[in-house]
């Protein structure tokens, strides 16, 4: 399967590495392309992709949406402002629903927005992670 990522940050790289290791073709698209980081123009990353992962800040999604018409899109964004404070979208909607509304004709799935980079690197042991959290909360 060909997977195009819009974004080349921590989430995109971690998920991309897992998909590559499973034998999928992965392309990372960004505002500027680079030969050394494997980042191409967004249009090139999503062209011909079977699946597109939206892995950019939520505020940047609106300008990227025209390239996603008719695609299967995984929305991994979080609705936060530029200062990382929560973005209030109201009581009747979610960020995933907002992205889906902006993409008529696309199939949008909300996923991986709560995935931490360390968990996407390989097999995840929930027991070990839970022990780590419990140790951190002790006085």
Q: What is the per-residue pLDDT across 82-134, written as a single tens digit (0 to 9) for each?
A: 787 777 666 677 778 888 888 888 898 888 877 655 545 555 444 454 445 44
What CATH number is attached to the domain comprising 45?
Answer: 3.40.50.720
pLDDT of 138 above 50: no
> Per-residue pLDDT for 25 more than 50?
yes
Q: Are 78 and 95 in contact (CB under 8 A)?
A: yes
Query: How many domains does the structure of the chain reveal?
Result: 1
120: containing domain? 2-137
Per the model's pLDDT, the better-predicted residue between 139 and 63 turns out to be: 63
Q: How many residues does the chain have?
A: 139
Q: Is the pLDDT of residue 17 over 90?
A: no
- pTM summary value: 0.75
């Amino acid at each position: 399967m060909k997977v195009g990522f819009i974004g080349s940050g921590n989430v995109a790289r971690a998920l991309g590495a897992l998909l590559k290791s499973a034998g999928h073709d992965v392309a990372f698209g960004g505002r500027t392309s680079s030969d050394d980081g494997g980042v191409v123009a967004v249009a090139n990353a999503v062209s011909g992709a079977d699946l597109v992962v939206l892995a950019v800040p939520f505020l940047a999604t609106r300008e990227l949406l025209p390239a996603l018409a008719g695609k299967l899109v995984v929305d991994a964004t979080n609705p936060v402002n530029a200062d990382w404070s929560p973005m209030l979208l109201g009581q009747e909607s979610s960020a995933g629903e907002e992205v889906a509304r902006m993409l008529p004709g696309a199939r949008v799935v909300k996923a991986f927005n709560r995935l931490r980079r360390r968990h996407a690197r390989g097999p995840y042991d929930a027991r070990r992670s839970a022990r780590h959290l419990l140790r951190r909360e002790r006085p």
